Structure 1
Amino acid sequence: MRANVNRFEFVAIQDNCYDDFDLMAQDAREWDIHYQQTGAGTFFGRMTQVILNSLQLGRVRWSPGILDNGTAPPGNWVVALPVSAEGTLHVRGRPASVDQPLFVPAGEDIAFAATGRTDLIVAAIDTAEIERWMQVRRGIDGINRRDLLERCEVTGPDLAQPTLRLQHTLSVLMTHGHDASQDILNTAHSVVLDTVLEIMPSFEVIEPLHRRAKVAAAMRTLLKENIESAITIADICEKMAVRERTLYLACQEAFGKPPKRLLYEMRLNAVRRQLSQPSDLTSVTSEALRFGFLHLGRFAAEYCNQFGERPSETLARARGSSPHSKRLMSGPD
């Protein structure tokens, strides 16, 4: 897999169940891993794996426990988020909490152990891609391996949303498969990378207040100009030459919400404008996907919460009204 890919493509996709742990390990494409069962009982495993030309995203489930050793795809860091675990988890010779992310550096032995039924979301990301993001978003040259492995403190509820986000992204990619549009692949790639970097520790220098006000104004303009593109926080930092923490504080101070939420709401508004002025080909699904909403159920709920009506109602009203009847109440003649 290569970093800095401009066009994302499916390489492989699989979703299989296993009663043989050796066969499950062999089927992990581009990985060199070996399993041993721990604990009593009939083995059951399931592996879901999506391989793009830019990264991998997957989900692995075992019962009972498993010992896992070997290496990830060459040049890739592994980030695993536990969905559930009935026993204890151990990675690289240390106990790991069920509500903490697990990191394995590129080229090093995974050395993972689970003593009971376990369910993990797993991403494999090119080291060069992570390093580029760390430089662009945080001004840090390279990956501080010690900080990443020992000082990551994301736990509990703070980890729940990133885990769900990756689960939903994997589900979307599995649903669309090789038929996924470039928009879907771009958005999925952005979501995975943004999510992974969110849970990495940060040690940034903050810009002064007057500088942050200018950053906020420039960011709003940039977001408007890229409302349809799968722009990431890293892209924004790179284009504006600011660090992630500065961007976050500037947005919070100017608009009362973080950059990702501001962009999300701006995209909801963009969908509403398109649904309010539809063409013959306009549909809720096409407009949602156009503006980067992969999870249509969540999009519909957020849209309804934002505007007080379902997106289908906005579209139906627009198609049933004339250009002169869109206001709730007209004035006297």
Structure 2
Amino acid sequence: MGQAVSSVFSTTPFDQHRLIDTGDLEEARLRTSLVLDPHRLRLTSPGQKIRNQLDVLSCGRLSLLRLTWGAGVSVDPDGLSDYYLLVLPVKGQASFYFDGATLDVTPRTAFIISPGRRFHFTAGEDYEQVLLRLDAQAVHDAWCRLTGHDQAPPICFEAVMPAHAVGWQALAPMLQWVSRCAGQGASQLAGYAALLAQTEILVATTLLLHQPHNMAPHLWPAPPPRAPSAVRMAQTYLLDNLGEDLPVARVAAHCGLSVRRLQALFRDECGQSPLQWLRQQRLEAVRQSLLLQGRRAKVGETAMRFGFSHLGDFSKAYRQAFGETPQQTRDN
């Protein structure tokens, strides 16, 4: 598993930037709605006492928030308006509900909620989360920079971001930088205004490149086409006659190609010549046979059965391909 989500914020001075500290449920809902979106808030167990705390640190247009309730709660905001919310659990447990699915939240999994996506969640009394608020405009601008387009389509990210995933590993160092910058006075940050703006774009760009989303296929070139039918025909012919001595001219004739054309197609599609490709398939076949038969196998006979007539050359090629001798493969 990767770095725990909570460790990114272990030194962030949240306590110095407290905006809300209340034991009143309705006050907690109203004041939090001024920072985030309006939402419904209720206790999951009657008789509990809430202790809502909200800390807000700014880093340019990015906002870093820490939010706790001190009681089991149900939170239903319907959806977000014009921003993305990266949910970073610090401790405790919660359950998020997206599109009819239930996702259990732990400090080893982050979530990203996209604008307009319907969700709600329940949290235990010890649940604590850090939130990164990212304007939708930043994702729009990052998309336009990546694609060269003037407009960005609505982008909805896959919600779950496990701590071992590429998206989190790419994002965590930037969150540490945001954590260092957040909450400093405006005079201290004056010299960093341009850098903070770039940080916002970099966070958005990292999400677009590393976190799955509905428009990801449009960011990348189309996958390479499948091998031409002539190459597939040649490969099938070679595999069907794996133990025979097959001159390239015979294979080319079988496919209705010149030798030069067949070799060019193999170089383009496989990065090697037909005979190099054939030798690799033969080596793989020998290896599978030795693994299957074990000590009952005779290395020389097996090699010759798959088209190797020079055992010295075979042994050398085998060791180069697999890092061990044929006898070691057989005896393991």
State the TM-score, normalized to the length of structure 1. Answer: 0.46
Bigger Rg, which one: 2
State the TM-score, normalized to the length of structure 2. Answer: 0.46
